[in-house]
Structure 1
Amino acid sequence: MPDNQEPILIKDETLTDQLPLLRFNRWQWWFMVALNIFFLLAGQSAAVVLGRFYYAQGGNSTWMATLIQTAAFPILLIPLFFLPSSKDPSTSSTQPSITKLASIYLSLGVLLAGDNMLYSTGLLYLSASTYSLLCATQLAFNAVFSFFINSQKFTSLILNSVVLLSFSAALLSVNEEDSDGPSGVSKWKHALGFICTVGASAIYSLLLSLMQFTFQKILKKETFSVVLEMQIYTSAVATCVSIVGLFASGEWNTLQEEMEGFGKGRVSYVMTLVWTAVAWQVCSVGVVGLIFVVSSLFSNVISTVALAVVPIASVIVFHDKMNGVKIIALLLALWGFASYIYQNYIDDCKVRKAQTDVENRNDSSC
């Protein structure tokens, strides 16, 4: 559902095309939203905690951490096999060429690989709670990209959400009491972690807006299989790039030693990588699914809900310190999220009213 949509000006023949919500019944739309929110939150929270666990127990390969963010994409072929085909005979003549699609997936995949590398570096030098809260800056970047790329409109509630979430992350950047970071990390590496995480957030926001643009302007399909195809193809490209980086950097030669020295043992090392890879794919399906069903900005906002999960999990698992600054940052993030959810509720009511008005006018003209 496009944010801050003005339904009064929409003509009935283009209503469905402009409002993704109307592709489904009301309950179907909310079910799709809820399901993708669950995928995103569960996957992201588990992946960040497991990623921090990998580093905490002796893992130090940033390219391996980058690779596992996309390496499990083949498991998405299972649900894709059981879903209806995304091909629509009525629109087959307007579908983009194979060359154009390949260029899009290749570009997005390379961008995704670079983004994952920056995130891996940030998580290496930051605590899981600080890393998670700092990722909220992606919402501010997405607001800019959505405005220019996706013609995103903003209300006071959306702007309030963006400002609060951005300010939440800004509090962490000036927090000099982050003594709960990984041991042995120097100040400049800690600063590097901040820079990489913020840079990754900017690229991630650009990636989401480009995906939304691809769905709306190029693919123009309305099935969930399109979501899986987007994730599979871009992840395949990103995985290939990560494998090249793993070998080119020489980190491949240290993996055997890394496994032997892993704090919890070899089996734990393998299982940590496997489940982290699975968690990232679950998260990615939720991210791309929300872009398809709602918008890139909404997908980004939902990602910030993990701010309420990851820091708490980090306190339990890694004994991270939740000082006053982090608590305030967390409360601001939750306030910002609530503002956006309320705006989405208002938009939902407007869209449904517009649909009812169109149906009434059509009935009266018969």
Structure 2
Amino acid sequence: MAQNHQPHVQTKQDEFVEIPMNIERGTATLINQTGGNRKKRQWVTIVICISFVVIGQSIARLLENFYYDQTHRLDYDDSRQYDGAWTQSLLQSVGFPLLIIPFLLFPSRKQSNPPPITSDRPSVKYLAIIYPCLGITMAAHGRLSATAKLSIPFGIFTLIYTTQLFFTSVFSRIINKTRFNRWIFISLAFAIATGALTLSTSFGGEPDEAEESWGKGSWSAFFAAVIFSLLLCNVQNAFDSVISKRDEASNRKPSFAVVMEMLTSPCLAASVMSAAALLISGEQHDLRREMEGFSKGKASYVLAMAGQAAAWQIYWVGIVGLVFVVSCVFSNIISVITWPIVSALVVVFFNFMDDDFDAFKGAAFATAVLSISAYVYKLKKEEKETDDSSS
């Protein structure tokens, strides 16, 4: 389903097995293969991944707002402005042990003739380099985005952060050799509009005028957008260039289980980096003070932090799953068009600066629907054209 894949992906003719852990990857499985049941399973996986993105991002952002609201972030002074920044970065990756659960619920089928270990050695070397690099990228993105949101008004952060769609398109063309057609451009245009129209969203950790640091916040938001784009494109590149070749060399079927593999090691590296930075900065001393001063009590504080860690893992499974099944561009589009849902939920559950539903939020929902509709139409159109040519 991705716009462009290496030839070895196009020739796969493996059978589908169980969803969600053992579904095949690649454009060929949805567009170039004719099995109706296989196509249906592929679309079901896409819907599940989109649901994970919506649910994970919504819960994580709501709990993040809850955290800043209950720690009275709006009352902080300059010396405590960036309290919790490394903590928020750590929460985005530290829940990775939860990824073991799918392997317990959906055990993979054993191969009757397991491949020799030597066939995996080249890919192991590459992955040993790729995974830590992805983890460092995740940690840097988490820290930069947290810093940006604590430095500039959230509306400005949103406008700058939306540029990730542009960078993902550019990097995808360079790194993944993606080919774009008019429907992808239309989808991207509506997704950019969706991100920009969420500028009226409020945020519990937004700085007051005395705390604003426009230079630091703007550059942090900009580099967070660039790094997130690079992360998605390199995840797709790892799937296409390393993992697919490894599975072919080992005579294994490419399954959704590699999404968990793709997340576990980088999240471990990101957690180690964020935890080390948290300890070096002395931020661990603030955690006890925050817990004791949490308005809803210590138990609510622990639950809010644990809930964020779990929600972020749900989000990452959805995001990386969409890269695996479709492409990094589609994954990024889905991530951005989820923002209006988060914006609406913030209005429902919180009352920051008298935030309310407005024309911008309504327009953002409309452009989000148009964005995903354009991309899905593109995928269905390619599927139909392939079916016609094969009949």
Quick check: 214-223 or 312-321, which moved more? 312-321
**Deviation of 1:4 (Å):** 7.3
Aligned to 1:105: 131
Letter in 1 for 2:59: A
Pick from 234, 240, 243: which aligns with 1:210? 234
TM score, norm. by length of structure 2: 0.79
**Deviation of 1:329 (Å):** 4.3
**Deviation of 1:15 (Å):** 5.6
Quick check: 24-33 or 223-232, which moved more? 24-33
Pick from 356, 369, 372: which aligns with 1:337? 372
- 1:309 is paired with a residue of what secondary structure? helix
Q: Distance in 2 between matches of 1:125 and 1:86?
A: 51
Q: Distance in 1 between matches of 2:229 and 2:368?
A: 17
Alignment of 1:70 onto 2:93: yes
Aligned to 2:382: 347
Quick check: 128-137 or 241-250, which moved more? 128-137
Alignment of 1:258 onto 2:290: yes
- 1:52 is paired with a residue of what secondary structure? helix
Q: Distance in 1 between matches of 2:145 and 2:97?
A: 22
CA distance 1:61–1:180, change in 2 (3 Å): closer
Q: Distance in 1 between matches of 2:203 and 2:315?
A: 29
Aligned to 2:28: 19
Give unmatched runs, 5+ long, in structure 2.
14-25, 74-82, 248-253
**Deviation of 1:217 (Å):** 0.9
Aligned to 1:2: 2
Q: Distance in 2 between matches of 1:112 and 1:20?
A: 29
Give unmatched runs, 5+ long, in structure 1.
358-366
Alignment of 1:248 onto 2:280: yes
Q: Deviations over 1:11-69 (max 9, x none)?
A: 99826476243498111111111111111111011111111221121163111111111
- 2:170 is paired with a residue of what secondary structure? helix
CA distance 1:181–1:74, change in 2 (3 Å): closer
- 1 or 2, which has the higher helix percentage? 1
Quick check: 326-335 or 234-243, which moved more? 326-335
CA distance 1:206–1:323, change in 2 (3 Å): same
Q: Does the 8 Å CA contact 1:132/1:306 hold for their aligned counterparts?
A: no
Alignment of 1:282 onto 2:314: yes
Q: Deviations over 1:84-126 (max 9, x none)?
A: 1698946976533433211111111111110111222234456
Q: Distance in 2 between matches of 1:11 and 1:210?
A: 18
Aligned to 1:148: 174
Pick from 186, 191, 196: which aligns with 1:160? 186
CA distance 1:312–1:152, change in 2 (3 Å): same
CA distance 1:281–1:107, change in 2 (3 Å): same
Quick check: 318-327 or 41-50, which moved more? 318-327
Letter in 2 for 1:340: Y
Q: Does the 8 Å CA contact 1:39/1:285 hold for their aligned counterparts?
A: yes
Pick from 157, 163, 168: which aligns with 1:137? 163
Q: Distance in 1 between matches of 2:292 and 2:99?
A: 31
CA distance 1:182–1:25, change in 2 (3 Å): same
Aligned to 1:48: 61
Letter in 2 for 1:308: P
Q: Does the 8 Å CA contact 1:73/1:281 hold for their aligned counterparts?
A: yes
TM score, norm. by length of structure 1: 0.84
Aligned to 2:50: 37
CA distance 1:13–1:295, change in 2 (3 Å): closer
Alignment of 1:182 onto 2:214: no
Letter in 2 for 1:216: D
**Deviation of 1:135 (Å):** 4.5
Q: Does the 8 Å CA contact 1:140/1:163 hold for their aligned counterparts?
A: no
CA distance 1:150–1:94, change in 2 (3 Å): farther
Q: Distance in 2 between matches of 1:333 and 1:12?
A: 30
Q: Does the 8 Å CA contact 1:165/1:332 hold for their aligned counterparts?
A: yes
Q: Distance in 2 between matches of 1:56 and 1:180?
A: 5
Q: Distance in 2 between matches of 1:132 and 1:254?
A: 27
Q: Deviations over 1:168-199 (max 9, x none)?
A: 445667x8x98998363547336754543343
CA distance 1:42–1:73, change in 2 (3 Å): same
Q: Distance in 1 between matches of 2:9 and 2:164?
A: 35
Q: Distance in 2 between matches of 1:13 and 1:63?
A: 42
Q: Does the 8 Å CA contact 1:41/1:283 hold for their aligned counterparts?
A: yes
Matches for 1:110-121 after TM superposition, within 5 Å = 110-121=136-147
Alignment of 1:307 onto 2:316: no
Aligned length: 350
- 2:213 is paired with a residue of what secondary structure? helix
Q: Does the 8 Å CA contact 2:195/2:339 hold for their aligned counterparts?
A: no
Q: Distance in 2 between matches of 1:183 and 1:265?
A: 24
CA distance 1:170–1:12, change in 2 (3 Å): closer
Q: Does the 8 Å CA contact 2:194/2:337 hold for their aligned counterparts?
A: no
Quick check: 318-327 or 272-281, which moved more? 318-327
